[in-house]
Amino acid sequence: MEKDENNKFLGEEKISKLLVKFSIPCILSLLISSLYNIVDQIFIGNSELGYLGNAATSIVYPITIIAVAFAWCFGDGAAAYLSLCQGRGDTKNSHQGIGNSILITFIISIIFLILGFMFQDNLLYLFGASSKSISLARDYFTIILLGIPIYMLANSMNAVIRADGSPFFSMLATIIGAVINIILDPIFIFTFNMGIKGAAIATVIGQIASFIVSVIYYTRTKTFKLKLSSFKINFKIFKNIIKLGISTFITQMSIVIISLVCNIMLAKYGALSKYGADIPIAVIGITMKVFSIVINIIVGIILGAQPILGYNFGAKNIDRVKETFKKVVIASIIVGIISTILFELCPSLIISIFGNSNELYMEFATLTFRLFLMLVIFTCLIKLTSIFFQAVGEPLKSAIVSLTRDIIFFIPLVIILPRIFGIKGALIAAPIADFLGIIVTIILVKKFFKGLDTKILDNKEVNYQSSREGVIITISRSHGSQGKAIGELVAKELNIPYYYKEMTALAAKESGLDKEFISNINENKDILHDLYLTSTPVKYAIEAQEKVIKMIASKGSCVLVGRASDYVLKDNKNVIKVFIYAPFEYRVKKVMEMYKDTKDKAIKNVLKSDKNRASYYELISGNTWGNPVNYDLCINSKIGKLETANVIVDYIKNRK
């Protein structure tokens, strides 16, 4: 139980000490990665290109986010898939998942490259280019496009490096690229007088350096080895990767939608104001990138808190969950207050870093920082809460918190308010969306904590049962097929131990997690069930369960019901894998009898339970739940409980 013991310190060590240990590396890594987005604008703004150069990079930036959305989707999906494969000791599929991710990322990047050149001007005008900025935007975008395949592959591979247990190497790849970009920017822009093309070339060279470092790592990985067969498309594996990475994709694409709508409105109403179309586009790009520094600090704090929150939530150490949440909220409020003071009192100091073009530019930049970022503290808390809900296995609440502020409130406001207040309306849309978003966030947080069961269950009331040498029978079953009762009958007939709820109780005892939480991980009602199953607390629970199942099997002959025990014990030669099923109507009738459900409710329960069991089994094993090839014996329990148990016992006694 070594890993369980390692996890237990998350429930015992001082929280402030844990936060310092986990959060600071996360913050540093994210701040370094944000340099890519800022360095170009600093040097361009201080060159003869001025605000028009910054407008050009601001126009191109959201287009590159589309590329990143795909890269991170495949990369984060492959990273999560690798973690799952590591958990189940699956070396066969792990390398295929990563190879598929790399191949699909490359294919998408080539498609992106082709479409980018085919519709270059259309895209640039769509994202806010004007007659003054189009040539600069075109020069910058052309070079950036050429580097898109490398850029996407580097981002996708980086996520897998972290999942392979090398976060430092992942950070190193980003640092090297960022440092090279910083060094080359002034050389190409000023020394070689290459202007915006020089900035783009420096960026691409930095990306190539990051990619090369990542490729070097892939030759010395810890938990997987790529082969030629890794790159053969496996649609089942790729489907899992998409499923695991889709939330990242949605988050990134929401940024694109926000940027697109915001740029369109700023260009439209800027053209009707004294500022023109280009100044607002240039300024909002700078504003968003400065703001990203603040958000990266907040994200680093809460990402560092994720393992602490996940473990203690799973252990139902609710006081520690509350304390951890309170501390990250306080830290975020401090960051938000400092940021607000800087944005409200010293905007010109920040803006001057990116060049001082003219009086109108400085006037609008000051106005933007003071209005657009007025309630930045609320934005920080909204982002923090979204990731908090991910950490405690609430992906639906996480999505609601994130998308409500950005999509439900901000986009309609940024479209409507400029019609009333002109260009300023686009700026005040952000703080109003922040205000409305924080109300929704507070309501969800209060509801979440109010609904927590603070009862600590006794995790020490069950022990391993002694047994004799012999077969281990694992029973998987469809809901309503009476698999639990049949398993008990088999165990009684063979006079061997029977484990069902006992498995979760033992896992709780060994890991420090709560047994009710472990027991219910396969019964979550969230519509985002697959994402729930990959959340931090559930991962801890699954690890604990698997260790206990293997320990039970080491004690001798027994019957194990559920929990994908057939797959967990796949390497044990003494295992007999049984799947019990029955006709749908029969199962509905049995559920009505057992739980006194109405027929409609029984149908819903059978369908939901089967779906959740299938998701859980696929997560654990990578195989299809109920597929006969995965079992030694599949039997229709419609013949009766006792009869089904007798068939299983006879099979065991007569097998060769």
Give the per-residue pLDDT at 370. Answer: 96
Q: Average pLDDT, whole number, for the chain?
A: 88
Residue 629 maps to a domain: yes
pLDDT at res. 649: 93
Phi, psi dihedrals of residue 514, rounded to the nearest 5°: -85, 135
What pLDDT is stored for residue 530 in this prediction? 67
Range of the domain at 408: 273-455
Q: The domain that contains 477 carries what CATH number?
A: 3.40.50.300
Q: Is residue 171 part of a domain?
A: no
Q: Give every CB contact of residue 351 below 8 A, 6+ residues apart in sequence.
A: 286, 362, 365, 366, 369
**Is pLDDT above 70 for 8?**
no
Q: Where is the domain boundary, 390, 425, 455?
A: 455
Shared domain check, 525 and 411: no
Split into its structural domains, the chain has a count of 2
Query: Is residue 447 located within the same domain as residue 535?
Result: no
Q: Are residues 286 and 390 in the same domain?
A: yes
Checking if the pLDDT of 655 tops 70, the result is: yes
Kindly indicate the confidence band of residue 559, based on its pLDDT and cuts at 50, 70 and 90.
very high
In the three-class reduction of DSSP (H, G, I as helix; E, B as strand; rest coil), residue 579 is classed as strand
Q: Is the pLDDT of residue 124 over 90?
A: yes
- Are 417 and 535 in a shared domain? no
In a shared domain, residues 414 and 487: no
Query: Can you tell me the mean pLDDT for 201-228?
Result: 93
* Residues 277 and 388 placed together within one structural domain of the fold: yes
| pLDDT band, residue 456 (cuts 50/70/90) | very low
Kindly tell me if the per-residue pLDDT of 301 is higher than 50: yes
Q: Is the pLDDT score of 30 beyond 70?
A: yes
Assigned domain for 135 exists: no
pLDDT at 524: 57
Question: Is 130 within a domain?
Answer: no
% the chain with pLDDT above 70: 95
My answer on whether 448 and 543 are in the same domain is no
Confidence of residue 35 (pLDDT cuts 50, 70, 90): confident
Q: pLDDT tier at 656 (50, 70, 90 boundaries)?
A: low
Q: Percent of the chain at pLDDT above 90?
A: 52
pLDDT tops 50 at residue 59: yes
Confidence (pLDDT) at 461: 64
**Would you state the pLDDT for residue 2?**
46
Confidence grade of residue 526 (pLDDT, cut at 50, 70, 90):
low
| Confidence band for 455, pLDDT divided at 50, 70 and 90 | very low
Cα–Cα dist 627/22, whole Å: 42
Q: Binning pLDDT at 50, 70 and 90, where does residue 621 land?
A: confident
State yes or no: pLDDT of 1 exceeds 70.
no
- Calpha distance 219→62 (Å, rounded): 33
Residues 388 and 518 in one domain: no
What one-character-per-residue DSSP string does 209-268 give?
HHHHHHHHHHTS-SS----GGGGS--HHHHHHHHHHHHHHHHHHHHHHHHHHHHHHHHHH
- Domain finish residue from 423, 455, 487: 455
Tell me if 157 is assigned to some domain: no
Q: With respect to residue 243, please indicate whether it lies within any of the assigned structural domains.
A: no
Average pLDDT over residues 178-183: 91
> Burial code of 254-286, b = ≥16 C-beta within 10 A, e = fewer?
bbbebbbbbbbbbbebbeebebbbbbbbbbbbb
SS3 call for 467:
coil
Tell me whether strands 558-561 and 472-477 are parallel, antiparallel or unpaired: parallel
Question: How does residue 7 score in pLDDT terms, banded at 50, 70 and 90?
Answer: low
Average pLDDT, integer, range 277-299 = 91
Query: Has residue 209 got a pLDDT over 70?
Result: yes
Q: Span 270-298, mean pLDDT?
A: 92
Contact 613, 625 (CB under 8 A): yes
**408 and 480 together in one domain:** no
Confidence band for 537, pLDDT divided at 50, 70 and 90: confident
Answer yes or no: do 287 and 389 share one domain: yes
* Residue environment code for 204-243, b if the CB has 16+ CB neighbours within 10 A, otherwise e: bbbbbbbbebbeebbeebeebeeeeebbeebeebbebbeb
pLDDT band at 527 (very low <50, low <70, confident <90, very high): low
Separation between Cα atoms, residue 641 and residue 650, nearest integer Å: 14
Mean pLDDT of all residues in 357-362: 86
Note whether residue 515 is domain-resident. yes
How large is the angle between the packed helices 278-314 and 50-87, nearest 10 degrees? 20
Among 395, 429, 455, the domain-final residue is 455
Do 477 and 443 have their domain in common?
no
By the 10 Å C-beta count (0-12 exposed, 13-18 middle, 19+ buried), 589 is classed as middle
- Contacts of residue 326, Cβ cutoff 8 Å, sequence gap at least 6: none
In a domain, 482, yes or no: yes
Going by DSSP bridges, is the β-strand pair 498-499/558-561 parallel, antiparallel, or unpaired? parallel
Lowest mean pLDDT among 21-30, 113-122, 464-473: 21-30
Does one domain contain both 432 and 567? Answer: no
Higher pLDDT, 40 or 7: 40
Statement: residue 335 has pLDDT above 80 = yes
Average pLDDT rounded to a whole number, residues 348-366 = 89
| C-alpha 17 chain-centroid distance | 25
Cα–Cα distance between 331 and 434 in angstroms, integer?
A: 19
Average pLDDT on 607-628 reads: 85
